[in-house]
Structure 1
Amino acid sequence: MSVNKTKSWKVLLVSLAAAVSFSMLSACSSNNNNTAAEDNTQAVATYKDGTITEKEFDLDTKVMKFLSPQQAAYLEIDAFKESILKQEVAFEYLAGQATDEAKKQAEKEADVQVSSMKEALGDTYESSLKEADLTEADIRSYMVRVLTVYQDMLLKITDDEVKAEFEATKGDYTVATLRHVLVGLTDADGKERTDEDALKRANEVKAKLDAGGDFAAIAKEYSDDTGSVESGGEYKDKALGTYVEEFKQAAQTLPLNTISDPVKTSFGYHVIEVESRTETTFDKLTDEQKETVKSTLASKNLETFLDEELDSLNIEINLPKSTAAAEESGTTDSGTAATAAPSATPAATEAAQ
């Protein structure tokens, strides 16, 4: 079980083999479909600058299901569909405000993403599209709309903004060599552990390390992290921003060559020792790292728009109700989605594990 995570939003469209952040995909949809001239279906959303028709929304819903089939059931829940539709309005509006340069960059990037998707699906690509009742043009159009908004936001970000964002999050770029033992909530044989049992085992690991035990040997005996167990629990020269939040915070603050208390994350309990830690200054950032900072800012700017400016579009929703599907999915008569449903708000760049 790996403890690091991918932060760039671009990974969401690179490969269907990767886990997809559904919240980002659902937010990243708008409707400038080329078939609008022959679309006689009713408007399911109106706003101050346009409409989204039932046909347009159905098409984008198909694309979302294709890209994230494990989340398809949520798109049958009325309240969740409404939330997505409002965000589709936002993307249609923002895409309409984008510069020509942003649109050109989006076209190029969409070609790259479609190519990557083809490679990921291999021989099943055509049959997968047919089964989903989609064409490559449908997928590409969806990606262009997503990428147009992001490219426009990226192009508007200044160097000063990038530097300010880096300074606010520079701990993420600190490079560290560390070792850890993960006691997972599932063992190597797939058997679940209780939280209490996992913590007890993690404390056993810490006691052995505090008594002078060899970290590499103990990691090989106890760790459930398949990504580091063969290296004795070591992750060498990695930026701390690549780890999940609780792990990152511990690795940023733990005194060097000190055995931590068990640190709980979504994976279980970690016992950590940081061997070295080197801060990175802005002038030492690679071009790729600067692009990552810009991507983070673009995602934040999108979230700000959705949180603070969406209501200004005067959106009116007229979605057909799907009562049976809603009841099966655990919604109430008022249309409130069950708490198990993922948030439709984009999770910024907290994309995929």
Structure 2
Amino acid sequence: MSSNKTKSWKVLLVSLAAAISFSMLAACSSNNNSNTAEDKSAAVATYKGGKITEKEFEMDTRVMKLLSPQQAQYLEIDAFKESILKQEVAFEYLSGKATDAAKKEAEKQADEQVNSIKTGLGETYESTLKEANLTEKDIHSYMLRVLTVYQDMLLKVTDDQVKAEFEKTKGDFTVATLRHVLIGLKDAAGKERTDADALKLAKEVKAKLDGGADFAATAKQYSDDTGSKESGGEIKDTVLSPATYPEEFRKAAQTLPLNKISDPVKTVYGYHVMEVESRTETPFDKLTDEQKGTIKGSLASQALESYLEKDLKSLDVKINLPKSSAAAGAANGGTKPTAAPSAKAPAATEAAQ
């Protein structure tokens, strides 16, 4: 029932890079491109201290399509292309301001990421790059530029900030043991249920449990959560992380009275009837290094997001992108995105697939 599989820190960095920027290469600014003299294409973006050409942006989009093919369709939508290009400007500018320590760590991380991609693609690595009209150097440059900015933000996070953020989000580190029955919006055979039908069945399940029915047996009979069904709906000693559970489920697990059957709790998966058996808060001094790293990464992501939303305008960015031949909204069945991808790390993990 997890909303995301647990990702390693390295994979999180790749997904963050893809989801935040889609577009950072070493060649993305005329200030840093050794082949500038050969690039006669028009500037598609100008800003204080630099510009990005049409040729450079086309290279960026090829990298994006390789690393995040599920997002490639949006590049036919002018508004989305513009938001990507603005983010590219921000990363180009910020990378030039990064510390040497950030650059050194980013170089190491970029090497690891390229090796990870190479290993993942195996024998198809060379042919995949050729088909995408890219080189390994292009991919490495992409990683290096994004990770330089991210590492710079990460190194600026203080211990006091980590502690303060923990106090605001410590429920996300609570450890709980609970049982639940999920009545999904699709049944076990894959047939869709209406919301009303799912809620009706969830209420019937609650009534059975309130009447004394055995929770484990009821879960095995009714639950659509394949991850916990066979264990009687039990989820044991789990950390209530937003990267793992939907917000509504998590909040219920954090606040429900112990050993009491809940009313149906609605999430994107359907309706959950829950019973929390135990719940233990984790004090700050008991956090693992990985958990502290998660908080630190979240703060770095927030800093990046804040810069994109509030400070980018100070660069006096001017966009001059050619109009797409495709009609706005033609990609994705007529639906177009209304905003650039979020810089928040939990949302970014999906782009690593």
Aligned to 1:51: 51
Residue 75 (structure 2) pairs with residue 75 (structure 1): yes
Shift of 1:345: 3.6
Is the Cα–Cα contact under 8 Å of residues 110 and 144 in structure 2 kept in the other structure? yes
* 2:55 equivalent to 1:27: no
What is the TM-score of this pair, normalised by structure 1? 0.90
Match of 2:41 in 1: 41
What secondary structure sits across from 1:319 in the alignment? coil
Determine which of 255, 270, 295 is the counterpart of 1:253.
255
Letter matched to residue 118 of structure 1: K
Distance 1:297 1:327 in 2: 33
Query: CA, structure 1 residues 31+2, in 2 after alignment: closer, same or farther (shift >3 Å)?
Result: closer
Shift of 1:43: 0.9
User: Within 2, Cα distance between the matches of 1:202 and 1:177?
Assistant: 21
Deviates more, 1:309-318 or 1:179-188: 179-188
Supply the AA of the counterpart residue of 2:306.
Answer: T
Is 1:297 equivalent to 2:299 in the alignment? yes
In structure 2, do the counterparts of structure 1 residues 196 and 108 end up closer, same or farther at CA, with 3 Å as the change threshold? Answer: same
2:30 match = none
- For the pair 1:285 / 2:287, whether they are aligned, the reply is yes
Determine the C-alpha separation between the residues in 2 that align with 1:321 and 1:340: 15
Residue in 1 that maps onto 2:123: 123
Match of 2:345, SS?
coil
**Residue correspondence of structure 1 range 123-272 to structure 2 within 5 A:** 123-241=123-241, 242-272=244-274
Matching residue of 1:316: 318
Partner Cα separation in structure 1 for residue 120 and residue 226 of structure 2: 23
Taking a change above 3 Å as real, the CA distance of residues 215 and 105 of structure 1, as seen in their structure-2 partners, is same
Match of 1:17 in 2: none
Which shows bigger deviation, 215-224 or 5-14? Answer: 5-14
Instruction: Tell me the SS of whatever aligns to 1:324.
Output: coil
Task: Tell me which residue corresponds to 1:97.
Answer: 97
8 A Cα contact 2:259 2:276, kept in partner: yes
How much does 1:199 deviate?
1.0
User: How far apart, CA to CA, are the structure 2 residues paired with 1:151 and 1:21?
Assistant: 12
Distance 1:91 1:9, change over 3 A: farther
Distance of 1:202 and 1:29 partners within structure 2: 45
TM-score by length of 2: 0.90
Contact 2:77 2:326 survives alignment (8 Å) = no
Compared with structure 1, are the counterparts of its residues 222 and 340 closer, same or farther at alpha carbon in structure 2 (3 Å cutoff)? farther
Per-residue CA deviation, residues 226-274 of structure 1 (Å, 9 max, x unaligned), is 2222222121111112321111111110011111111111111111111
Q: Distance in 2 between matches of 1:125 and 1:187?
A: 39
- Per-residue displacement from partner, 1:298-345 (whole Å, max 9, x unpaired)? 0111111111101111000010111434363389xxxxxx65426314
**How many angstroms apart in 2 are the aligned matches of 1:304 and 1:201?**
44
Pick the aligned partner of 1:275 from 265, 268, 277. 277
* 178 and 161 in structure 1: CA distance in 2 versus 1, 3 angstrom threshold: same
> After the TM superposition, which of the residue ranges 31-40 and 187-196 deviates more from structure 2?
31-40
CA deviation vs aligned residue, 1:266-288 (integer Å, no higher than 9, x gap): 11111111111000111111111
Q: What is the identity percentage for the equivalent residue pairs of Structure 1 and Structure 2?
A: 70
State which drifts further: 182-191 or 49-58. Answer: 182-191
Change in CA separation of 1:5 and 1:250 when aligned onto 2, cut-off 3 Å: farther
Q: Paired residue for 1:343?
A: 339
Letter in 1 for 2:26: N
Count of aligned pairs: 341
**Contact 1:185/1:195, CA 8 A, preserved across alignment:** yes
Distance in 1 of aligned mates of 2:327 and 2:106: 36
Q: Within 2, Cα distance between the matches of 1:40 and 1:229?
A: 61
Q: Do 1:9 and 1:295's aligned partners in 2 also have CA atoms closer than 8 Å?
A: no
Distance 1:257 1:246, change over 3 A: same
Provide structure 1 residue ranges, at least 5 long, that are not aligned to the other structure. Answer: 15-19, 332-337
Distance, in Å, in 1 between the alignment partners of 2:121 and 2:162 is 36
Shift of the alpha carbon at 1:52? Answer: 0.9
